[in-house]
A and B are shown apart, each in its own frame.
Chain A
Amino acid sequence: MPGPTPDPVPSAETLPARVDTVVIGGGIIGCCTALELAERGFSVLLCEKGHIGGEQSSRNWGWVRLTHRDPREMELMVESARLWQQLDRRVGAETGYRRCGIAFGFRDEAGRADLEQWLPSLRDYQLPASVASPAELADLFPGMEGGLQGALLNRADGRAEPQKAAPAVARAAQALGATVAAGCAVRSLDISAGRVSGVFTEKGRVACDSVVVAGGAWSRLFLGNAGVELPQLRLRNTVLRTAAVPDGPETTIKHPDFTARRRADGGYTVASVLANRFELTPDSFRLFMKFLPALRNEWRTISFSVGHGFVEAAREPRRWGADQVTPFERCRVLDPDPDRKAIDKVYASLQRAWPAFRGVPVEQYWAGMIDVTPDAVSVISKVEQMPGLVIATGFSGHGFGLGPGAGKLAADLASDARPFTDPANFRLTRFSDGTPIRPISGVARR
């Protein structure tokens, strides 16, 4: 089943011989990195094996939230929220960003206590978060039942349209002279004298000073071939979208049993962490010890499955040369099967709790692969042993909202500018230098 269709982006027919920076991956992170660099006057080539925003960047829930953020991500997210506010003007297109607020509902005192612990960190950043009473919730979500005792409400949280944002950013980068090449996988890095000197794409070599790997769920495979170990697993999340709901709520709701986010087309994107599924692959066992703390926190909300993906992944080559067809060319767009049973159950809970959704048909189901790191914090990092290589990946389900800030930081690193925020929390070496690896917000517990 194909996923949602992102807005089209024209693709370059020919590649430049040389650029300052090659960005690998046309998702929200890669597009924002390319735009930042183009605005700063760098020549950029953005290579995408499929089409712009074709994978998780158009398949995510479309939340832009400051709440429930790992403290290590807060500065990055505050800057991202600022950039989201200016994004439409900056790219000259509509990305659907609205400060609609998100309400994180709770049903009991334990739920309240769990959510209230986020308040102090939000207040540190002067964010308008408060605990909303059932009466306030009734105003925000008229007709919703479902036994909520209240909610953590942050009116600075927002939403944007995943099918529009990355393409709009890519087109803005193009307008500033960046080359966007879709259907053009990068096979491997060209290394000379110990540093990045170019990339080998399926359409030939392009010389460059730096490379940003923003390959989402594919980054581990690409970097592994370059001899760089990135611990990263894939988590499959299923989403559905409904037909338009007349007079539906503006504010995004996170109920323990479901979430619903209003879309620009008047329908809702319905999702839940209950529809998460860890695909067991050979990597799951290779990385089992590294991910143990994450799994210990979240095992209740995640189910595991061994499907044909296990066999496929086992057959996938992990090393190849620049003249070989790579896994990236064999799978242009990662389009996992949605878990219909799980997401239908979520939608049924929503309809039970909320009469307004009864009789509203489901327009589309899709699934996407979330790329997860052991501490559920992204890697935005130079690679010490390979000057010129920058990684921006592993966003663990937080990437859409973080996109603009992450792109800015990745651009800072790729151009040797002073990073606008301390990049230490996002460094790759934290997984190997003995730093205790602790997930704080987690992948699923949002």
Chain B
Amino acid sequence: MTPDLAIIGAGPAGLGAAIEARAAGLSVVLVDDQPEPGGQIWRGAGTVPKARRQLMGPDYAKGRAVIDAFHASGAGYLPGHVAWNIEAEPLAIDCAGPGGSRRILPRALLLATGAVERPVPVPGWTLPGVQTAGGLQILMKASGLAAEGAVLAGAGPLLWLLAAQMAAAGAPPLAVVETLPRGRYLGAVRALPGAMRAPGPLAKGLGLIARVLRAGVQVHRGAAALRIDGTDRAEALCFRDASGRDRRLEAQTVGLHMGVVPNQQATRLLRIGHDWDEAQAAFLPRRDGDLRLAPGILMAGDGAGIGGADAAYLEGRLAARLLAGGETGGLRRGIARARAARPFLDRLYHPGAALPGDETVVCRCENVTAGAIRRAARDGAIGPNQAKFLLRAGMGPCQGRTCGPAVAALVAEARGQGMQETGYFRIRPPLKPLPLSVIASAELPLPGTQAAPP
């Protein structure tokens, strides 16, 4: 395949870019590992029954129109395809789908690979019944399932959104346990004037919290020392409340959340430079003012820094506009407006510096504890890669997607060095595990060798 533009990711950024690029007459193919367009935020929004769409709220429901516009755009679409290898010079993408692996040789590439949830390694987080809040929300979007009597714990806007959605579905959570330290709300007020330039998100957030309280959900603020108890599965969430008392909430389902961070797998694979951003407490890929990571490679959406769905959609359109040519001022102003509340939210929901105790498992795939990582760092592992060599942390099925940020933070702490200096896993293809049959039957040439002429 030889399109003008290849896009990886069918969330708001990828869909916005595909629609805009097709309108400008570019040939487009969009690769996505899900069976339907929408990404995580609009998962299933194009096909779920209207009742469920409404239940999930207006921000979810508006995905429907974008998905319809994408389907009508005439863009090529490879759903259920994992982009498992990306090369920069010359541009090439290998993606594996039901029919085998296919090589795409585009003129330009847009990464719209979005965000992943920050890992929340607390004691007991690997027990059955413990999920991420995002995982619980996906169950609602994709299958219409909401766990009864769940406890949601952590911090971030998603926690409140999910609680409100569960309440609307008739299965309000038993409790929301917020881990923000005392004084955080006051501290964030300094960023409030900026956020008030576009107060929509703040009003929405306050509305969500009000709805959760009205639904009779217990709310505990200022919680610390989260722990999930249970032998074969989750039985209770334990924490220390704001007054210093130990609390225990019986629950079969616990949803953990500490915000989202850019999914670095694709940008790390391409050896793009990354900078530690203390405000978002995340590594962000180095991108110029025209969304460019490298010649011919652009990135739009949360993958380049968390900005939310509205900003991502507009950034996708901006990326296509930059490639096709055209006026960009309106889109840039729209993005700035959509991100106006971000500094306030980043400050309010900053995950802080608390790291898991030595007994806590950090790499779930390979069962590596925080203590083991600290020991490896003290024994001379100067970065996460050495921890990986010594302990296999990051070598399991998730290829470090889940534990990467936590492993890096532990190494940095143990060695008393900054995150920038510590760095991150060196990511190699395949980005996700593949059956050997896919590689055996892949379109030649194999990654790392010369690309075929188009």
Residues of chain A whose beta carbon lies under 8 Å from any beta carbon of chain B:
17-18, 20, 36, 38-43, 90, 92, 175-177, 415-418
Contacts and interface: CB of A to CB of B under 8 A. Distances in A.
Interface stretch (B21-29, B254-262, B337-345): B21-29
A40 B3 contact: yes
Given A40-B28, A41-B27, A177-B27, A415 B2 contact: no
B77 A43 contact: no
A42 B27 CA distance: 9
> 7 tightest CB-CB pairs across the interface, nearest first?
A41-B3, A40-B76, A41-B29, A41-B76, A176-B27, A43-B2, A39-B74
Nearest to A176: B27
B74 A42 contact: no
A323 B76 CA distance: 36
A383 to B, nearest CB: 17
A18 B2 CA distance: 12
A153 B213 CA distance: 60
A211 to B, nearest CB: 16
A176 B107 CA distance: 12
Contact of B4 (A36, A176, A415, A416): A176
B1 A20 contact: yes
B75 interface: yes
A36 B22 CA distance: 12
A271 B100 CA distance: 50
Task: Please report whether the interface of chain A is mostly helix, strand, loop or mixed according to DSSP.
Answer: loop
7 contacts: A38-B27, A40-B28, A40-B76, A41-B1, A41-B3, A41-B5, A41-B29
Interface string B1-38: 11111100000000000000010010111000000000
B83 to A, nearest CB: 14
A419 B157 CA distance: 39
B99 A40 contact: no
B74 A36 contact: yes
A417 B75 CA distance: 11
Given A92-B25, A415-B76, A41 B99 contact: no
Interface in B415-454: 452-454
Nearest to A177: B2
A40 B454 contact: no
Given A20-B1, A39-B22, A41-B1, A417 B77 contact: yes
B106 interface: yes
B25 A42 contact: no
B81 to A, nearest CB: 11
Given A39-B75, A417-B77, 12 more contacts: A17-B453, A18-B452, A20-B1, A36-B74, A40-B74, A40-B75, A41-B6, A41-B104, A42-B2, A42-B3, A176-B4, A176-B25
Interface in B58-76: 74-76
Interface residues on B, range: 20 to 34
Give the most central of A20, A92, A177: most B CB within 10 Å.
Answer: A177
A418 B79 CA distance: 9
Contacts of B79: 418
B357 to A, nearest CB: 49
Given A20-B1, A176-B27, A42 B76 contact: yes
A43 B1 contact: yes
Contacts of A40: 3, 27-29, 74-77
Contacts of A38: 27
A39 B28 contact: yes
Contacts of B75: 39-40
B71 to A, nearest CB: 8
Nearest to A21: B1
Contacts of A18: 452
Given A176-B4, A176-B27, A177-B2, A39 B99 contact: no
Contact of A416 (B2, B3, B99, B453): B99
A96 to B, nearest CB: 20
Contacts of B99: 416
Contacts of A43: 1-2, 454
B387 to A, nearest CB: 40
B28 A42 contact: no
Contacts of A417: 76-77
Nearest to B78: A417
Contacts of A175: 25
Given A176-B4, A177-B2, A416-B99, A39 B454 contact: no
A46 to B, nearest CB: 15
Nearest to A173: B27
B77 A42 contact: no
Contacts of A36: 74
Nearest to A16: B454
Interface in B85-105: 98-99, 104
A36 to B, nearest CB: 7
Contacts of A176: 4, 25, 27
Contacts of A41: 1-6, 27-29, 76, 104, 106
Interface string B247-266: 00000000000000000000
B3 to A, nearest CB: 3
Contacts of B98: 416
A43 B29 CA distance: 12
Contacts of B5: 41
Contacts of A418: 79
A175 B27 CA distance: 10
Contact of B1 (A17, A42, A92, A416): A42
Contacts of B76: 39-42, 415, 417
Contacts of B104: 41
Nearest to B443: A209
A177 B2 CA distance: 8
